């Protein structure tokens, strides 16, 4: 696919000017008014699903069932975030108190307001749920912020088609012109990111790309919050009793989690810690050999996948299964030891974006802990353990909690439920700011700026704090 | 004062190593356990007030009543934040639901944990409340984070003495060694800020100094949240009817707010918008002439104050009162017009840290709005208006709300109550991140990182989400 839709500088300027013009009117609507608009957008997306999915299959190689599920999830997000914004309007009131200690205090009323225009760098791997109408767009709109999407180059036609559906539905429901905009091309994205009319940015993608944009956002004369979701290895620790008792079941779950969507998920378990005394290689090889994987999203990702697998092999890992040099992608597993990780972590712990994972065998608790301590931040960390493993769990858990934004027990990290208690974030490089989630209703919080009214007459107060 | 306490590199390393060692044990305490420790620290600070205030008077030129009030506030903050951390433990639970749309969902439980070691760059102008045991330290400790204070060079002896009181009280109450540490000197601060054992930083001070540290924090291999409170002009808009009806009262309040603590407050009203048809200069000059101001905190601040007043005069403002070249500091007022601000904002809108303010006369609503649009972000914005001014208020308020973190009606911005609904933050350059406050119990939120537990057995869940 070599569609060239790169925006001209006039088109970028138009998107910025329109979004800036929409900022105050869209922000001044009530959450209930925006709820109606976002529900209309969700309906329109659902109605257009057939046509959009056909384009998506062409551009991404993803399967139809997967894309259908993703459209449903994307429509759900638009509705759920809009509903949450209605239900969670911030209002904290401290009445005036002349007798307060340490000093008399005035009437103070805390609420929040939209942060301003949000620039959303769409992801390649979820052409709906993390793209034009995806979680970053939905949460920013629910917060009352106009959104400019920087389309991902992996699915430009789908991006354009989805944008038309979204834009038309929002306008028809009464949203101001410029409530959503779109730009294409790296240069257009950087120009918009540097523009003072943009007040926050969100990104989902690679560590190198995300870090470059994060640096640009921070170097602006007026720096802005940049919510980047970058790389994550999502370690899974299988404790000895669990491995001995249920190795087939665990390895099957692992294989499914690594190969689903051809491994192109930010929560794919990239490192499996496995007790060295329990055999795994033969069974894992069988399971991987029986797994169907489809071509990666783009030729660029295919090249990057092969290069990263090669890099891990060059660093000393051995191949358990798969042929990284094959022309079509194959599900792969590599292996190394916990002591090798502890000795030279960065070379072995390169993220392979695709259906490959690294099995790290460990001899005992201290061996395991040394390797875990060598890991950088992650979105998730999982534990599989049985009753006999609880001493090990007590030693390992503090390290995992310290390292990840979501901790799982006996489940695989792929599949991220969109709920209030979800947290999809974590220490760098999982994200650029570990305080925020990009999935779940708290994603909205990223785009709301608190404001306190002191001693205000009721008629000039926002409705939330009257 | 030319005390040299600059930390050696060994001392910096010791502070970092101790804080890193304290991180997990201090973070693992319950909020109630930490509450006891912080109350003990508040008690110790109160007991040592006499001795500490004597040092503070020597080092800062601030008055005894002011410093007494500040110690009381600092002790109050330590207690209030610790109490708030007990009461506001995060716990959001979504039970598993096999029938959930768009997909079945697992049990998810969201809570938060301390972000890690916090580096606190202390401020010059509140030697207690924004210094060693001040709001940043108190909020980080309440969140469960060890703190390394980078002492301000303006009050090194007080910093050392306060640190001893704080450190001794925390240890005696059972806090781990290294729960608080201190370093002296710019180089020590930068070394600590670059160190990977530090996970967040807070700063209160100048825009240039804060921006330099913000850039360092972001340029780290692992960037960290940097909560900087930098510069703020705190515009006050006086509407025509209010000015005509109560000019004496308003100018007296303005004078008190500008000259209190010799104007060395981040919320000092630095710009007063005043209707051009109402006289003010003579009365304001009388009021300022009758105001007692004391020498600024340091000779460096005195030089900076004079330079900034000179810069605003050079940019075309006229002197209403005061002699900026006087050897001892004088309360001063300058004046310009709204159209001059709109034409060349940055030269006239330089922050003068000291007892000076700029009166900006406006002819009508559009004149006023053009000048307000030229302003950068602020901590606060205030309105003085009477019934006849409400049309103007409706036009002005959206611009002020867009520009500041706290909006006041008929009150002066100096004096920042420490309550739950307080918000002391705002768009850049007021702060480096407009989502966060450094005063009030929500200051704690800056140092808590969310984490979700999925499908976890009760015995391994944190108490908050069991």
Q: Where are the domains of chain B?
A: 9-230+431-465, 235-409
List of residues 6+ apart from A287 with CB closer than 8 A: A251, A252, A255
Alpha-carbon distance of A27 to A213, in angstroms, equals: 26
Burial class (CB in 10 A: 0-12, 13-18, 19+), A46: middle
Residue A353 has pLDDT above 60, yes or no: yes
Alpha-carbon distance of A404 to A406, in angstroms, equals: 6
**Token couple for B83:** 């109490």
Residue with token string 């609503």: B365
Q: Cβ of A110 and B451 within 8 Å?
A: no
Dihedral, CA of residue B404, residue B410, residue B416 and residue B417, to nearest 10 = -120
Confidence band for A3, pLDDT divided at 50, 70 and 90: low
Predicted pLDDT at B1 = 45
Burial class (CB in 10 A: 0-12, 13-18, 19+), A430: buried
Which contiguous run of DSSP H or E holds residue B121? strand B117-121
The residue-averaged pLDDT of A252-256 equals: 98
Predicted pLDDT at A347 = 85
Domain B235-409 superfamily per CATH = Aldehyde Dehydrogenase; Chain A, domain 2 (3.40.309.10)
- Quick one: which of B396, B393, B405 has its CA closest to B439? B405
Tell me, yes or no, if A290 comes closer than 8 A to chain B by beta carbon: no
Predicted pLDDT at A359 = 98
Asked if A454 contacts A96 with a C-beta cutoff of 8 angstroms, the reply is no
Render each residue's pLDDT in chain B as its tens digit; 466 residues.
446 689 999 999 999 999 999 999 999 999 999 999 999 999 999 999 999 999 999 999 999 999 999 999 999 999 999 999 998 899 999 999 999 989 999 999 999 999 999 999 999 999 999 999 999 999 999 999 999 999 999 999 999 999 999 999 999 999 999 999 999 999 999 999 999 999 999 999 999 999 999 999 999 999 999 999 999 999 999 999 999 999 999 999 999 999 999 999 999 999 999 999 999 999 999 999 999 899 999 999 999 999 999 999 999 999 999 987 788 889 999 999 999 999 987 889 999 999 999 999 999 999 999 999 999 999 999 999 999 999 999 999 999 999 999 999 999 999 999 999 999 999 999 999 999 999 999 999 999 999 999 999 999 999 999 9
Alpha helices in B120-155 (DSSP H): 135-143
Residue A201 has pLDDT above 80, yes or no: yes
Burial class (CB in 10 A: 0-12, 13-18, 19+), B346: exposed
Predicted pLDDT at A266 = 96
Q: How many CB atoms lie within 10 A of CB B387?
A: 8
Closest residue, chain A, to B452 (C-alpha) = A406
List of residues 6+ apart from B240 with CB closer than 8 A: B275, B277, B278, B388, B389, B392
- The whole-model pTM stands at 0.97
Partnered with residue A360 across adjacent β-strands are: A273, A336
Alpha-carbon distance of A47 to A45, in angstroms, equals: 5
- Average pLDDT of chain A, as a whole number: 96
Q: How many CB atoms lie within 10 A of CB B221?
A: 10
List of residues 6+ apart from B258 with CB closer than 8 A: B268, B269, B288, B331, B333, B355, B356, B357
Alpha-carbon distance of A127 to A59, in angstroms, equals: 9
**Token couple for A82:** 């809009």
Which contiguous run of DSSP H or E holds residue A189? helix A186-194
Asked if B259 contacts B291 with a C-beta cutoff of 8 angstroms, the reply is yes
Closest residue, chain B, to A437 (C-alpha) = B450
Predicted pLDDT at A344 = 86
Tell me, yes or no, if A387 comes closer than 8 A to chain B by beta carbon: no
Predicted pLDDT at A1 = 45
Tell me, yes or no, if A305 comes closer than 8 A to chain B by beta carbon: no
Asked if A438 contacts A424 with a C-beta cutoff of 8 angstroms, the reply is yes
A-contacting residues in B 411-440 (Cβ below 8 Å):
411, 415, 417-423, 425, 427-429, 432-435, 437
The residue-averaged pLDDT of A364-374 equals: 97
Residue A204 has pLDDT above 80, yes or no: yes
Closest residue, chain A, to B384 (C-alpha) = A456
Alpha-carbon distance of B203 to B190, in angstroms, equals: 12
List of residues 6+ apart from A333 with CB closer than 8 A: A258, A284, A285, A288, A319, A320, A321, A322, A356, A357, A358, A359
**Token couple for A406:** 């979501």
List of residues 6+ apart from B59 with CB closer than 8 A: B1, B127, B154, B155, B156, B157, B158
The CA angle A154-A155-A158, to the nearest 5 degrees, is 175
- Quick one: which of B389, B393, B338 has its CA closest to B363? B338
Q: Cβ of A450 and B442 within 8 Å?
A: yes
Which contiguous run of DSSP H or E holds residue A14? helix A9-28
Residue with token string 């240890």: B171
Partnered with residue A453 across adjacent β-strands are: A109, B407
Asked if B249 contacts B261 with a C-beta cutoff of 8 angstroms, the reply is no
Q: Cβ of B454 and A376 within 8 Å?
A: no
- Chain A residues with CB-CB distance to B456 below 8 A: 407-409
- CATH classification code of B9-230+431-465: 3.40.605.10
Query: Is A350 noted as a catalytic residue in this protein?
Result: no
3-state secondary structure B153-200: CCCHHHHHHHHHHHHHHHHHCCCCCCCEEEECCHHHHHHHHHCCCEEE
* For testing contact with chain A, the best of B392, B412, B417 (most A CBs within 10 A): B417
SS3 of residue B359 by DSSP:
strand
Predicted pLDDT at B3 = 60
The residue-averaged pLDDT of A362-378 equals: 97
Alpha-carbon distance of B34 to A191, in angstroms, equals: 47
The residue-averaged pLDDT of A113-119 equals: 98
């Amino acid at each position: 696919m070599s569609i060239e839709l790169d925006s001209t500088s006039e088109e970028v300027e138009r998107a910025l000017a329109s979004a800036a013009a929409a900022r105050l009117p869209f922000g001044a609507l009530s959450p209930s008014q925006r709820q109606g608009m976002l529900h209309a957008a969700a309906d329109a997306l659902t109605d257009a699903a057939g046509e959009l999915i056909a384009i998506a299959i062409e551009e991404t190689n993803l399967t139809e069932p997967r894309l259908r599920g993703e459209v449903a999830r994307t429509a759900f997000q638009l509705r759920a975030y809009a509903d949450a914004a209605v239900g969670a309007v911030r209002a904290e009131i401290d009445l005036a108190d002349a007798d307060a200690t340490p000093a008399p205090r005035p009437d103070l009323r805390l609420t929040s307001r939209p942060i301003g225009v949000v620039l959303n760098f769409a992801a390649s791997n979820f052409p709906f749920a993390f793209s034009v109408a995806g979680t970053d767009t939905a949460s920013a709109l629910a917060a009352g912020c106009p959104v400019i999407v920087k389309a991902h180059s992996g699915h430009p036609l789908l991006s354009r088609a989805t944008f038309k559906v979204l834009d038309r539905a929002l306008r028809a429901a009464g949203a101001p012109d410029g409530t959503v905009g779109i730009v294409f091309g790296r240069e257009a994205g950087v120009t918009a990111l540097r523009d003072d009319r943009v007040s926050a940015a969100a990104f989902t993608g690679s560590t190198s790309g995300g870090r470059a944009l994060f640096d640009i956002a921070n170097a602006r004369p007026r720096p802005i919050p940049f919510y980047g979701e970058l790389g994550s290895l999502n370690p899974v620790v299988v404790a000895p009793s669990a491995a001995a008792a249920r190795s087939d079941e665990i390895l099957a779950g692992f294989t499914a989690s690594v190969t689903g969507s051809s491994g192109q998920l930010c929560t794919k378990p990239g490192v499996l810690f496995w007790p060295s005394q329990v055999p795994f290689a033969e069974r894992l090889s069988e399971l991987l050999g029986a797994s169907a994987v489809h071509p990666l999203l783009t030729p660029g990702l295919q090249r990057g996948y092969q290069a990263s697998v090669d890099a891990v092999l060059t660093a000393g890992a051995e191949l358990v299964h798969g042929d990284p040099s094959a022309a079509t992608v194959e599900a792969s597993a590599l292996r190394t030891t916990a002591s090798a990780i502890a000795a030279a972590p960065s070379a072995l712990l390169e993220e392979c974006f695709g259906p490959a994972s690294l099995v790290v065998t460990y001899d005992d608790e201290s061996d395991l802990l040394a390797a875990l301590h060598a890991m950088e931040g992650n979105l998730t960390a999982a534990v599989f353990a049985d009753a006999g493993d609880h001493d090990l769990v007590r030693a390992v858990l503090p390290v995992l909690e310290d390292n990840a934004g979501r901790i799982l027990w006996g489940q695989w990290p792929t599949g991220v439920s969109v709920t209030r208690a979800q947290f999809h974030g974590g220490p760098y490089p999982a994200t650029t700011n570990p305080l925020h989630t990009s999935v779940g209703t708290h994603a909205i919080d990223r785009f709301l700026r608190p404001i306190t009214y002191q001693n205000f007459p009721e008629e000039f107060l926002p409705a939330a704090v009257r």
